[in-house]
Amino acid sequence: MNIVELLSSTVERLPDNPAIHFKNEILTYKELHQKVFQAAAALRSLGVKESTNVALMMSNRPEYIITYFALLANGATVVPINPLFKEQEVTYILNDSESEFLIIEELSRQVIENVRHQFQSIKEIIYYGDQELSGYLNWKELLQHSPSSQPVQRKSMDTAQIIYTSGTTGNPKGAMISHSNLNWMAITSAVFSEIKPGDRILCVLPLFHAYAKLQGFLSPISHGATIYLEERFEPVSILDSIASHKITVFLGVPTMYAMFVQSPNITELDFSNLRIAGSGGASIPVEIIEKANRLMGVEIAEGYGMTESTVMLTATPASAEKKHGSVGLPLPGVDLKIIDPEGNTIPPKAVGEIVFRGPNAMKGYYKKPQETENTIKNGWLYTGDLAYQDEDGYIFIVDRKKDLIIRGGYNVYPREIEEILYTHREVVECAVIGRPDPLLGEKIVAYIVTKTSQNEKDLQDFCKEKLVHYKVPDYISFIDQLPKSGTGKILKTALKKQDKNFA
């Protein structure tokens, strides 16, 4: 089944229901469907067909959703890219994914101009904007084409999207997510959250993010809900939107709720229509949960997952008991267990690694068989996350085995920052760790051994030129030498203890 059939099914049932509300624009399901297949026809005329990898690098706007479905309707594979990524990040993903087409907007154009000569497989770059630019195809002209017929039939295990994630070592990896993964997850999460026609779902999460795709539009569309799409997060205006649009479902990350409870207008607004406030991306402090519950009148429902699990592994059912500190229950149909280092299942309250198998497990990493084998063993996907399960089956995340930093809901991988720092002329050695922060969850600390100069601003400016803003170290700490093991390995555990003492 092609995931686009979810949209087609909803159009048959609810053609005149509002699908997307963006600024002053409203698209019904019928209008959305028409625009999707107009774009699909034009893209196919350019050579976008079955198994063509197409990179999508746009910010939050209806055209993102239209283009996403249009690509899938043609049987293509979508490669989402953060439109704020810098040259090195974009070039790596485009080349590694073997993308043949790239769709961008003005926000990313200068970055693309700087490095387009390095792209190894890109045939055409499609530009969304009002200008007619030499060397680019204009996206808006695509909608002048006639609608195509039915979506291309895809096998359930055909790859629908490749989403780049990364461990703490090596380059980013492209997780291959199938049509079956997306279809199962969209329907399951909607049922789990009791999404229904008439629900108003506010999505301010960036659409390139896997969480936003699933919860922000795939799941709502599967059940005929209305998506209220926002361009960017600003706490006061988003709270106003939740109240004024009578939003019933809000999807956020812990940082958003931390900012909400500090917003001056939160006590003046009516949130009586809000029945679900979801949170993912990182654990949310109990203090923030309690404040948000009190001020917004709704209990925050936490979930847990990762790109490799098609976003979700656990969630808190809409009508179930919510336990503070828990990320909810395993999704129905997912086998999840917590194991010790020998692979044995451990009893409730004992801490171990989460492993799982089920219809949400990724196919593997694109062109990386060894990394796939290291992650999926005997059919079980090893998450690298430590947790325990209570007697009622609720999951509590304890820590992450990997050195992943989660800053404001974004995954930040220390190795990537370290690689950039090592290219600076003054850096001899470096190590990047996360420091707990009440607002962002974690902030980024870079410990650096330099040759002579110790200029914090110079190093931060250097990183700003090479990295998207949320990956730039919040703190630079100069050190004479990094703690190491007997084999010369840098000991980040020792650094974290030291940082805790001096934070």
Query: 3-state secondary structure string, 361-381?
Result: CCCEECCCHHHHHHHEECCEE
* pLDDT for 265 beyond 60: yes
* pLDDT for 153 beyond 90: no
Range in 124-128, 188-192, 229-233, 244-248 with the lowest mean pLDDT: 188-192
Q: What is the pLDDT of residue 486?
A: 45
Which of 434, 423, 420, 422 has the alpha carbon at shortest distance from 464? 420
Rounded CA separation 175/361 (Å): 10
Mean predicted confidence (pLDDT) in 446-450: 95
Q: What's 164's DSSP letter?
A: E
Q: What is the pLDDT of residue 288?
A: 80
The chain-wide mean pLDDT, for the chain, equals 91
Q: Which helix (H) or strand (E) holds 287?
A: helix 286-296
Q: What is the pLDDT of residue 388?
A: 94
Full set of structural domains in the chain with CATH:
4-19+26-154 (3.40.50.980), 200-400 (3.40.50.12780), 405-502 (3.30.300.30)
- The single residue listed with the structure tokens 């039915």 is 150
Which of 418, 476, 469 has the alpha carbon at shortest distance from 445? 476
| Strand, helix or coil for residue 117 | helix
Q: What is the pLDDT of residue 168?
A: 38
Q: What is the pLDDT of residue 167?
A: 43
Which of 189, 183, 139 has the alpha carbon at shortest distance from 161? 183
Task: Enter the pTM of the model.
Answer: 0.85
Range in 94-98, 256-260, 361-365 with the lowest mean pLDDT: 256-260
Select the more confidently predicted residue: 29 or 492.
Answer: 29
Rounded CA separation 326/303 (Å): 8
User: What angle (nearest 5°) sits at the alpha carbon of residue 501, between those of residues 499 and 503?
Assistant: 60
Q: What is the pLDDT of residue 150?
A: 76
Listed in sequence order, the residues at least 6 apart from 358 whose beta carbon sits closer than 8 Å to its beta carbon are 331, 333, 334, 335, 336
Mean predicted confidence (pLDDT) in 96-118: 97
Exposed / middle / buried, residue 182 (Cβ in 10 Å: 0-12, 13-18, 19+): buried
**Beta-ladder partners of 335:** 357
Buried b (16+ CB within 10 A) or exposed e, 294-332: ebbebbbbbbbbbbbbbbbbbbbbbeeebbeebbbbbbe
User: What angle (nearest 5°) sits at the alpha carbon of residue 119, between those of residues 116 and 120?
Assistant: 155
Listed in sequence order, the residues at least 6 apart from 75 whose beta carbon sits closer than 8 Å to its beta carbon are 2, 49, 50, 51, 52, 151, 152, 153, 154, 158
**Beta-ladder partners of 383:** none
* pLDDT for 170 beyond 60: no
* pLDDT for 16 beyond 80: yes
Span 289-326, pLDDT tens digits: 888 999 999 989 889 999 999 999 999 887 777 888 89
Rounded CA separation 271/273 (Å): 6
CB 2 within 8 A of CB 8: no
Span 209-253, pLDDT tens digits: 999 999 999 999 999 999 999 999 999 999 999 999 999 999 998
**Beta-ladder partners of 201:** 227, 249
CB 441 within 8 A of CB 408: yes
**What is the rounded (10 degree) CA torsion for 83, 86, 92, 97?**
10
Q: Which helix (H) or strand (E) holds 235?
A: helix 235-244
| Strand, helix or coil for residue 121 | coil
* pLDDT for 460 beyond 80: yes
Please provide the DSSP assignment of 172-215 as one string. Answer: -EEEEEEHHHHHHHHHHHHHHTT--TT-EEEE-S-TTSHHIIII
Rounded CA separation 210/75 (Å): 19
